[in-house]
Chain A
Amino acid sequence: MTAEAGLAALWLAAALSLLGLVLSVLHYRGTLDADRSVRAVAIVHGALCLFAFAMLLVVFARTDLSVALVAENSHSAKPFIYKVAGAWGNHEGSMLLWVTVLGLSGAALAAFSRQLTSRTLVAALGAQAALALGFHGFLLFASNPFARLNPAAPEGRGLNPLLQDPGLAFHPPTLYLGYVGLSVAFSLAVGAMLTGQVDRILARAMRPWVLGAWIFLTLGITAGSYWAYYELGWGGWWFWDPVENASLMPWLAATALLHSVSVLAARNGLKAWTMMLAVIAFSMSMVGTFLVRSGILTSVHSFAVDPTRGAFLLLLLGIYVTAAFVLFAVRAGSLREGAPFEIVSREAGIVANNLILTVILGIVFIGTLYPLMVEAVAGEKLSVGAPYFNAVAGPLAIILGVLLTVGPLLSWRHESRPVLRKLRIPVFIAAIALAIAFFALPQASILSKLGLALAAGLLPAALIPLLRRNPFRAPLATWGMAIAHAGAAVAIAGMAADSAMTIERLTAAKPGERVEVGPWLVEFVGVTPAAGPNWTAIEAELRATRGGGVHVMKPQTRFFTDPPTETNEAAIDTVLCGQLYTVIGRPDEDGRWQLRLWWKPMVTLIWLGGALIALGGLFAFAGHARRAWRRRAMA
């Protein structure tokens, strides 16, 4: 019954999205005043999607093996929390989550938007309904999550063991809130371009959505990076995997959009840029969804390869993106120009920031799709990986970081004061850091040394806007900006440190032997079998000391039975200034075991920085929300 209820809700929701679209079109053309109806339809639509998703959670929680999706992806022996997480750990379920977030976002837009003119809001809700309609079609005709299995399966085929992990259980929903949250920015942009109302009111309506989605994307990408780091056992934290890139590209676009929409809100400027970025950001989300689910790019994250699903998604993607770009091409000319600004001004700083972010976005995009294009055109197979991305994006990121130090200090419209003087101390600190890096880390790359210096300078520079008589009276949004930029400095420090200061040892050791890695002395005690609820493992015991106490670490090679897989469970010990990362490999005939050990100073700063960036976003969100609430209370 539960599955049928969910399916019925989905059908109803699809019908409502069609109704919403039709009503919006009629309202836009002036035939009908459908403002209240369109809002109501959007809200009910969101509720129905949520209900359908809830039904999916229920069948997974109950391990209802008469539902095909549960039979394929779950198992009665799975811990409860992973049973529930299994609902979105597969193509159909995650697509339903996608559509649910789409529906709920539309509902929230309908319920809480007050300042936009009725015409623009209804146009935006119509765009959102059009998006929903297409994806509902995809769900119902090509990816039904509620299909039944008759007779019911005696046992499930098991959730992939790599998903039995708390971090990973929550990584997809966080990312989806980000990807799909950007749909509202897209719809608002489409609506505003249709009605011509691209102004500060639009910016103020769009900004919380961009900020919210961006916060979730930042968290999702940070969490995903940390998960890959400790789960895949390679010691790396970013692999430039096509699907990682697919999550990075919307983030890059959203970051540029975030800054651009601030200019639109504050100064009524950068209208065309903001509209274009809003379209690009969600287009990147859709391209990402397509890449992951169509099988045209292989990676860790690939879902089931199904060309018909891929074709359907490509059709949707093609229609939406082409339509939005055409709309932009037609309407961009008629957007009224924004307020002027000088070359030395905050707007100019943000333009520079956007330019660099766009270039990085373009580079990542080209690098990700280059193998496909080359094979299509020339038939050659090649791969593009870290060497390309690091070489090209790295220096650009450094330049962006340098701009970050000075941008927030510039005034709107025209900066006439000698701002560079404020940066004396940060520049001095950066210079010292650079000198120390050259002296102490001769073997490190230039890029990582520059990164360390940049981080050292950027951190104090980010806090300068807070330097006033009473920092606590600074607006929340300013705190947000300072924390986010400081977070960027922290993350850059971590990345540069990982590149410059990591020490690796790869060795074959007999039990009882000792291995040195950096300041650590690691004793390989031995290997024993271990077992868990649905796995068996070979576990090594390592005792590491650094002069102080003993840290016991137990890396494993783990074997799951259903489905049969082997994973590497690295043992990671976190101390104040870094992490000791250990992996066990194969034995050989002489009884020696392969061990791979890394000492990674300051590596945790990478993810701490990411969390700080998200936190800064949260402060900014709170600041804008409070100001909007106050404005409304006074009106």
Chain B
Amino acid sequence: MMVRPKHQRLVLVILAIFAVLGAVLLAMWGLKDRAAYFYTPADVVAGKADPGKAMRLGGMVQKGSVERDPDGITTRFTIEDGDARVSVVFKGIVPDLFREGSGVVAEGRLEGRTFVADNILAKHDERYIPPQLGNQAAEHAVGKTVRR
């Protein structure tokens, strides 16, 4: 099928618009379920977080709450933000800066009353990390962590 030059330009423009619209629609579809909202323990306790959906939970690691399971690789702890507390379970190697009393953000999902974490981002201490290229701890600077 031969397209006349004049029409060809129109067709190409329409295709370009479709491409852009297509990108936006696909992005919206993808973001609907896969963007991970950031919640604090207070939000979770108040029921604002949807169970099963990917999310991030941020707060302070409650002192005395860190336990290692006998298998040696599962870590359990509690994230708190003043009043609310959420239990977290994580299977893996915990980053160096993860410690009790320090800020942390966990990525994962809520299953029942426990947060199952796929990834732990330990909050770094501002004065300790030089804001330079490629610092492994600096990579985990995340959104708002709770203040007391």
Contact = CB atoms under 8 A, between A and B. Distances in A.
Interface stretch (A27-35, A57-65, A584-592, A623-631): A584-592
B142 interface: yes
B26 A298 contact: no
Contact of B30 (A90, A367, A414, A568): A367
A301 B132 contact: no
Contacts of A73: 132
B27 A362 contact: yes
A305 interface: yes
B131 A566 contact: no
10 contacts: A232-B136, A302-B141, A339-B5, A358-B16, A360-B23, A366-B27, A383-B35, A385-B34, A391-B30, A594-B93
Interface of B: 1-6, 8-9, 12, 15-16, 18-20, 22-24, 26-27, 29-31, 34-38, 54, 56, 68, 71-73, 91-94, 96, 107, 128-139, 141-144
Contact of B136 (A162, A338, A586): A162
Contact of A300 (B36, B92, B134): B134
B136 to A, nearest CB: 6
Given A351-B12, A585-B93, A382 B35 contact: yes
A565 B135 CA distance: 8
Contact of B93 (A303, A339, A341, A596): A596
Interface in A354-380: 355, 358-363, 366-367, 370-371, 374, 380
B30 A392 contact: yes
B5 A337 contact: yes
Contacts of B130: 157, 160, 563
Given A381-B143, A382-B38, A304 B132 contact: yes
A343 interface: yes
A168 interface: yes
A73 B29 CA distance: 44
Most chain B CB within a 10 A radius of its CB, from A73, A232, A300, A338: A300
A342 B72 CA distance: 64
A383 B91 CA distance: 22
A567 B138 CA distance: 12
B1 A343 contact: yes
Contacts of A380: 37-38
Nearest to A342: B2
A592 B72 CA distance: 7
Given A358-B20, A508-B72, A163 B15 contact: no
B135 A564 contact: no
A507 interface: yes
Q: Is the interface of A mostly helix, strand, loop or mixed?
A: mixed
Contacts of A363: 23, 26-27, 30
A338 B16 CA distance: 16
B131 A305 contact: yes
Given A73-B132, A387-B54, A586 B24 contact: no
A74 B73 CA distance: 38
A402 B137 CA distance: 40
A299 interface: yes
A566 B136 contact: yes
A428 interface: no
Given A304-B131, A392-B26, A567-B136, 17 more contacts: A89-B133, A162-B135, A241-B139, A300-B139, A303-B132, A338-B5, A340-B8, A355-B15, A370-B35, A381-B37, A381-B38, A382-B37, A383-B143, A507-B71, A565-B137, A566-B96, A585-B93
A280 to B, nearest CB: 11
A596 B128 CA distance: 28
Most chain A CB within a 10 A radius of its CB, from B131, B132, B142, B144: B132
Contacts of A381: 37-38, 143-144
Interface residues of A, number: 72
A308 to B, nearest CB: 15
A80 interface: no
Contacts of B73: 506-508, 594
Contacts of A355: 15-16, 18-19
Contacts of A241: 139
Contacts of A157: 130
A368 to B, nearest CB: 10
B138 A302 contact: yes
Nearest to B92: A506
A363 to B, nearest CB: 5
Interface of A: 73, 89-90, 157, 160, 162-163, 168, 232, 241, 270, 272-273, 298-305, 337-343, 351, 355, 358-363, 366-367, 370-371, 374, 380-385, 387-389, 391-392, 396, 414, 506-509, 563-568, 583, 585-586, 588, 590, 592, 594, 596
Contacts of B107: 383, 385
A452 to B, nearest CB: 23
B24 A362 contact: yes
A217 to B, nearest CB: 19
A379 to B, nearest CB: 11
Nearest to A88: B133
A538 B134 CA distance: 21
Given A337-B6, A391-B30, A359 B132 contact: no
A168 B133 CA distance: 11
A565 B26 CA distance: 41
A342 B8 CA distance: 9
A340 B30 contact: no
Contacts of B29: 392
A479 to B, nearest CB: 30
A366 B23 contact: yes
B30 A388 contact: yes
Contacts of A383: 35-36, 38, 56, 107, 143
Contacts of B143: 381, 383
Contacts of A339: 5
Contacts of A585: 93-94
Given A160-B130, A300-B138, A362 B20 contact: yes
A490 to B, nearest CB: 27
Contacts of B136: 162, 232, 300, 565-568
Nearest to B3: A340
A343 B3 contact: yes
A389 B89 CA distance: 26
A163 B26 contact: no
A106 B132 CA distance: 30
Contacts of B138: 300, 302
A389 B23 CA distance: 12
Most chain A CB within a 10 A radius of its CB, from B56, B68, B142, B144: B68
A542 B19 CA distance: 51
A620 B2 CA distance: 31
Nearest to A510: B72
A303 B72 contact: no
A391 B92 contact: no
B16 A273 contact: yes
A517 B142 CA distance: 34
Given A343-B3, A388-B35, A592-B72, A337 B30 contact: no
